[in-house]
Amino acid sequence: MSEASSKALQSCLQRMQTAMTGLDEIGDATARSVAKDLVDALLDLHGLALARTITFLMNAEGGRVLAEGLADDDCVAATMLLHGLHPEDPETRLRKKISAMRPHWGVRGFRVELTEVSASSAKARLICSNPIADRRAVLVEVETALTDAAPDLDAISVEEVEEAEPESAAALQN
């Protein structure tokens, strides 16, 4: 996703959050209830239309590949996730994100391994092969990348570990 598209998505999500918070602040209980019902109805309609579109795609020749390609777009993926329609499970999305980030993270001296995924959470290991100046920033970066890949999980934790020296290297130092 381009930087402009990413910013547009983040802006849209922020506007939605602000509007939903604003609904809770409406003093008139009837107006608040009607507004929330309208939002729910619009989301339901949106979800039904998207579900039918994805069903149509999946039944068409080559449609599965197209649906999976659409799911690679962050904006489309966010909408699919909102309605429980993403064609990939969280583990697949996490593994794809880790694979995509491997070259970027590798040149910076660390790698990430997925160690556990359940229906509601995931655990990963951040393995550092050399000293990293700002370990906390790297940990936050990895957690953010994984959360962006699987926002439907309740929790994603990343454990930091030092890479063990190979036995031959340790023996040479003695």
CATH T-level assignment (fold) for domain 90-169? GMP Synthetase; Chain A, domain 3 (3.30.300)
Q: Return d(Cα 26, Cα 33) in angstroms, integer.
A: 9
Rounded (5°) CA angle 86-92-93: 60
Query: In what order do the strands lie in the sheet containing 121-128?
Result: 110-117, 121-128, 155-162
Residue 168 CA neighbour count, 13 Å, CB half = 0
SS3 144: helix
Which parts of the chain sit beneath pLDDT 70? 1-2, 164-174
Tokens of 105: 């993270």
Please give the pLDDT value at position 135: 82
Range(s) within the chain of domains with CATH label 3.30.300.130: 90-169
Whole-structure pTM value: 0.71
**DSSP track, 23-40:** HHT-S-HHHHHHHHHHHH
SS3 68: helix
Q: Return d(Cα 47, Cα 42) in angstroms, integer.
A: 8
How many Cβ atoms sit within 10 Å of the Cβ of residue 128? 16
